[in-house]
Chains A and B, each alone.
Chain A
Amino acid sequence: GAGVSQSPSNKVTEKGKDVELRCDPISGHTALYWYRQSLGQGLEFLIYFQGNSAPDKSGLPSDRFSAERTGGSVSTLTIQRTQQEDSAVYLCASSPGEVNQPQHFGDGTRLSIL
Chain B
Amino acid sequence: QQPVQSPQAVILREGEDAVINCSSSKALYSVHWYRQKHGEAPVFLMILLKGGEQMRHEKISASFNEKKQQSSLYLTASQLSYSGTYFCGTERGSDYKLSFGAGTTVTVRA
Chain B contacts of A35 at CB under 8 A?
100
Q: Which residues of B contact A52 (CB under 8 A)?
A: none
Q: Enumerate chain A residues within 8 angstroms of B100, measured Cβ to Cβ.
A: 35, 42-43, 45
**Total chain B interface residues with beta-carbon distance under 8 A:** 25
CB–CB B98/A99 < 8 A: no
Chain B residue numbers with a CB within 8 Å of A31 are 96
Minimum CB–CB distance for B85 against chain A, Å:
9
A108 touches B102 (CB 8 A): no
The reply to whether B49 and A100 contact each other, CB–CB distance below 8 Å, is yes
Question: At the interface with chain A, which of B11-19, B40-48, B66-74?
Answer: B40-48
Q: Judge if A103 is at the interface, Cβ distance under 8 Å.
A: yes
In Å, the complex CA distance between A95 and B98 comes to 11
A interface: dominant SS: loop
> What is the chain A residue whose CB lies nearest that of B32?
A102
Contact A41 B102 (CB under 8 A): yes
For residue B30, which residue of chain A has the nearest CB?
Answer: A100
A31-B96, A50-B96, A99-B93 given; A42·B102 CB < 8 A: yes
- Whether a CB of chain B sits under 8 angstroms from the CB of A26 is no
The chain B residue with its CB closest to the CB of A95 is: B96
Q: How far is the CB of B104 from chain A (nearest CB, A)?
A: 10
With A42-B103, A99-B30, A100-B30 known as contacts, the answer to whether A108 contacts B96 (CB < 8 A) is: no
Interface residues of A (CB under 8 A from B): 31, 33, 35, 41-43, 45, 48, 50, 56, 91, 95, 97-108
